[in-house]
Amino acid sequence: MNIQTLDSAANWDDIEEYAATQSGAVVYFENPRLEAADEATKSTVLDYYKFDEDMPAELVVELESKFYGYIQFRNPDIAFDFVADYFPRRDELPSGDAGEPYWYQCYVIRPDGVVEYDNKALRPGNNRPE
Task: Render pLDDT for 72-98 as a digit per residue (tens, 0 to 9).
Answer: 999 999 999 999 999 988 888 877 666
Domains held by the chain: number: 1
pLDDT at 106: 95
pLDDT at 36: 93
Q: Does 111 fall in a domain?
A: yes
Q: Does 123 fall in a domain?
A: no
pLDDT at 122: 57
Q: Does 126 fall in a domain?
A: no
Q: How far apart are CA 113 and CA 95, in angstroms?
A: 31
Q: Does 55 fall in a domain?
A: yes
Q: Does 80 fall in a domain?
A: yes
pLDDT at 94: 76
Q: Does 47 fall in a domain?
A: yes
In this prediction, what percent of the chain has a pLDDT beyond 70? Answer: 90
Q: How far apart are CA 109 and CA 118, in angstroms?
A: 9
The DSSP secondary structure of 6-68, one letter per residue, reads ESSPPPHHHHHHHHHT-SSEEEEEE-HHHHTS-HHHHHHHHHHHHT-TTS-HHHHHHHHH-SE
pTM comes to: 0.86
pLDDT at 121: 61
pLDDT at 99: 77
Q: Does 21 fall in a domain?
A: yes
The range of the structural domain enclosing residue 55 comes to 2-118
CA angle 33, 106, 86 (to 5 degrees): 95
Q: Does 130 fall in a domain?
A: no
pLDDT at 126: 46
In the chain, which stretches have pLDDT less than 50? 124-130
